[in-house]
Amino acid sequence: MACEKRGKQRAASLEIESPQSSDSKATEDSPIAHRTGKRKAVAKAPFRSRGRGRPNAQGTSAHGNRPRIKHASAPGSHMADAGESLEYLERIILRMQPAIRAAGMHYNGVRPVDYTKGKRDIYAEWCDNPAEYIQEQQGDVHFWINFHADWYDSVILSKSHPTIEMKSINWDYLLNMICR
Partner 1 sequence: MPVVGEVVNACNMMNLTSIMSFNLAWNVEIVAQFYATLYVDRATKTFYWTIQGKSFHVEYAYFASILGFPENDLTREKIHEVENVLDDGELHFMYDSAYGDIKFGTVHGLTPYYKLLNQLFHYTLCPKRGDSDNISNMSKNLLARMAPNKNEFSIFDFIWEEIIICSVSPKKGCHYAPYIFAMIKEVTGVNILTDKSHQVYKPKKDQLE
Please give the residue ranges that form the binding site for partner 1 (CB under 8 A): 79, 82, 84, 86-87, 89-96, 115-116, 122-123, 126-131, 140-144, 148-149, 151-152, 154-157, 159, 161-171, 173-175, 177-178, 180
Separation CA 112–CA 164 (nearest Å): 25
Q: Which is nearer to partner 1, 16 or 164 (CB)?
A: 164
Closest to partner 1 by CB, 33 or 113: 113
CB of 120: closest distance to partner 1 in angstroms?
8
Question: What is the secondary structure of 61-84 as a DSSP string?
Answer: STTTTSPPP-PPPPTTGGGTT-TT
What is the C-alpha separation between 16 and 64, in angstroms, rounded? Answer: 19
User: Cβ 88 to partner 1, closest distance in Å?
Assistant: 9
Least distance between partner 1 and beta carbon 90 (Å): 5
**CA dist 143 to 3, 34, 116, 131, Å?**
55, 67, 19, 11
* Residue 108 amino acid letter: N
Nearer to partner 1, 57 or 157 (CB): 157
